[in-house]
Amino acid sequence: MGINFLSYINVCYFNRIYLCINKFINNKKQNIMATKWNLDPTHSEITFKVRHMMISNVKGSFTNFSAELEAEDDTFKNVNVKTTIQTDSVNTHNADRDNHLKSEDFFNVAANPEITFESSALNSEITGNLTLNGVTKPIELDVDFGGINVDPWGNTKAGFSFEGKISRKDFGLNWNAALETGGVMVSDEVKIAGELQFVKA
């Protein structure tokens, strides 16, 4: 009877220790992901490039977007990334072309005012979910981490460059026009790139 009682006491004791350790680990995890980095829009850009008439490239950008990082440490290997682009900010330096891109033939900004990208891991490449034209698909981007520095006003900043490519058709952007000599007006492949600078909160 004494042995059973002691065994019971030991089990209760170790169970309590286990619960305490578990609670400590969970609290530690929550505290680790506490460092936020906010986008510095004046030193950031998101651009794209498509083949036009199969002979040259047309470039464009989005002028209104936001992004934030939440990282465990300054290596950014364990990080939550969220980027939101306002679709109607597309700019190719031609009003007629921009209006066409905003129409139902392409971005359909009335129905899909935002493009989003989310990921939870960042190395020399980043894989995340891109939502464009109401369609969400995983994409992979090559990333170059430029490092961390402090500006003259004491702000800690981190810089990243990225590039990749997507298929328009994957996101339902199917508009095109056939050329008399063969080929199409706009390529299916879109090359995307960006320079992003973040400020440590």
Terminal-to-terminal C-alpha distance of the chain: 60
Class of domain 34-200: mainly beta
- Assign 73 to helix, strand or coil: coil
Q: What confidence score (pLDDT) does residue 11 get?
A: 53
Yes or no: say if 163 and 34 are a contact pair by the CB < 8 Å rule. Answer: no
User: What is the Cα–Cα distance from 13 to 95, expressed in whole angstroms?
Assistant: 73
User: What is the Cα–Cα distance from 64 to 69, expressed in whole angstroms?
Assistant: 18
Which of 201, 124, 135, 197 has the alpha carbon at shortest distance from 166? 135
Q: What confidence score (pLDDT) does residue 5 get?
A: 52
User: What is the Cα–Cα distance from 186 to 108, expressed in whole angstroms?
Assistant: 17
**Tens place of pLDDT for every residue, the chain, 201 residues?**
445 655 555 555 555 665 556 555 555 545 455 799 999 999 999 999 999 999 999 999 999 999 999 998 888 888 999 999 999 999 999 999 999 999 999 999 999 999 999 998 888 889 999 999 999 999 999 999 999 999 999 999 999 999 999 999 999 999 999 998 888 999 999 999 999 999 999
Which of 18, 39, 50, 48 has the alpha carbon at shortest distance from 184? 50
Yes or no: say if 122 and 161 are a contact pair by the CB < 8 Å rule. Answer: no
Helix (H) or strand (E) holding 47: strand 45-52
- Sole residue written with tokens 């990080």: 79
Q: What confidence score (pLDDT) does residue 121 get?
A: 80
User: What is the Cα–Cα distance from 46 to 27, expressed in whole angstroms?
Assistant: 36
Q: Which two tokens stand for residue 95?
A: 């009003």
**Largest distance between two CA atoms of the chain:** 96
Specify the amino acid at residue 184: V
- The burial class, CB within 10 Å (0-12 / 13-18 / 19+), for 35 is middle
Domain boundaries, the chain: 1-32, 34-200
Yes or no: say if 134 and 175 are a contact pair by the CB < 8 Å rule. Answer: no
Which of 5, 84, 36, 39 has the alpha carbon at shortest distance from 197? 39
